[in-house]
Structure 1
Amino acid sequence: MFQLRTLPFTEIAGLVSKETCEYHYGKHHQTYINNLNNLIKGTEFESKGLFEILTQSQGGVFNNAAQVYNHDFYWDCITPTTSVRSAELEDAIKASFGDLAKFKETFLNAATTLFGSGWCWVVYNPSSQKLEIKQTSNAQTPVTEKLIPVLVVDVWEHAYYIDHRNARPAYLEQFFNHINWEFVSKSLETAKKNGLEAVKNYTKSLHS
């Protein structure tokens, strides 16, 4: 049985209020956990880990497993405290986007223009050995394309409507101001070292 992970904060001023945490984490994220547990009962996935379910399932099982993972990762990508980028991450941003300003512009534009509900990711592509920006709709995740996430922003409306109403750009600006660069730096480091095993190890750290 999967359990809801611990939220690494109670609120982030300007980005996610306690009320948003209560609904987004306590209700939406919890519902994906509950649905996944119910859907895998008596199936081949009942004894498998989240990574295996994520990469081997389809339909409702996949949708709920992916939403568990996507939300797990999102919560770690934001922080109420100041964080710094590693030299490795700085170099990767420069190599892939030119500089931080261009990266921010490209990333936030991709997140703003994603139609409907979904996620905007920064992934490490082992083939190109560069960072790339990836839009996914609904529950989809780049992991199924063998891309390793290092950063994600949730652009489902329930992620920001309580605090920012329909102003997605305002939410995204605040998101960028509260990125947990230390987590992103570590995610890039493990992605380069371990490939998709980095995703598997991350899921196991939360759902052993």
Structure 2
Amino acid sequence: MLGFRSVSAARQLGRVAGRSLGAVRSKHTVPELDYDYDELEPVISAKIMQLHHDKHHATYVAGLNAAEEKLLAAQAANDVAAQVALQPALRFNGGGHVNHTIFWKNLIGEKNGGGQLHACALKEAIEQTFGSLEKLSALVNAKTAAIQGSGWGWLTFDPAKGGLDVITTANQDMAAAVGHVPLLGVDAWEHAYYLDYNNVKAEYFKNIWRVVNWKDVAQRYDAAVAKHRAA
């Protein structure tokens, strides 16, 4: 979570990213895709995938690494003002890195099972909570389309109520920042769709469900439920 109130920004970001930060740390890197750039066509073009992954995600990673280097220096110097000043960069670039890392895993080509949600605990939970997958997608699309500016639409597990929820986050804010476990993210930034859909983002939101990797989403749901029950 990127709240940065009770512990250092570096250690909070480290927990979100799945590793801790120390005086000597390894740099964040852009994860490789599990598929070729063109696998998501015609829903998302190879050109968008290459730009989105190799340029945009790489920019967040570079910004995050730079901010963390400055943070470590500020911590070593006991410069509290500098540490506070770095919080926006850590939040924005850290969120961009974490959100996109989830996003790539959430996608898969139609020929490899994209859009297919088979019988599982997640399917049952979706039907119990929203009525059907179609109603869930309509809700996510409506909430995501209503974002003013850039942001993300999320299917999440909310530990507070022990079930599924649909939320949105602004810019690169993470679902974890409001206590939710992200399961499925829809990138509503223009760079995610504009080359293919121009200003008709509603078509992008409609079509992206054809390439959702429900196996990945279901695994995230199972892990979230198991952690919640063990708490």
- Structures share a fold, TM > 0.5? yes
- State the one-letter code of the partner of 1:19: K
Q: Deviations over 1:22-76 (max 9, x none)?
A: 2111100001111111111152499xxxxxxxxxx83111110110000111111
Kept in 2: contact 1:20–1:160 (CA 8 A): yes
Distance 2:177 2:119 in 1: 27
Q: Deviations over 1:97-121 (max 9, x none)?
A: 1222211211111122222100000
Distance 1:150 1:132 in 2: 10
The sequence identity of aligned pairs, in percent, is 26
Q: 1:127 aligns with which of 131, 146, 160?
A: 160
User: 1:170, CA displacement in angstroms?
Assistant: 0.8
Q: 1:5 aligns with which of 11, 24, 31?
A: 31
- Output aligned runs, 1:56-205, within 5 Å: 58-80=87-109, 81-82=112-113, 83-195=116-228
Aligned CA RMSD, in angstroms, stands at 1.9
- State the one-letter code of the partner of 2:212: I
Kept in 2: contact 1:124–1:131 (CA 8 A): yes
TM-score calculated relative to the size of structure 2: 0.76
- State the one-letter code of the partner of 1:160: Y
SS at match of 1:41: helix
Q: Provide the aligned length of Structure 1 versus Structure 2.
A: 186
| Rg larger in structure | 2
Find runs of 4+ consecutive structure 1 residues off by over 2 angstroms: 42-46, 83-86
Relative CO higher for 1 or 2, CA cutoff 8 Å, sep ≥ 6? 1
Distance 1:18 1:168 in 2: 18
Kept in 1: contact 2:151–2:168 (CA 8 A): yes
Kept in 1: contact 2:117–2:123 (CA 8 A): no
Distance 1:131 1:5 in 2: 27
Q: Is 1:38 equivalent to 2:66 in the alignment?
A: yes
List alignment gaps of at least 5 residues for structure 2. Answer: 1-26, 75-85
Distance 2:203 2:190 in 1: 13
Distance 1:157 1:42 in 2: 30
SS at match of 1:79: coil
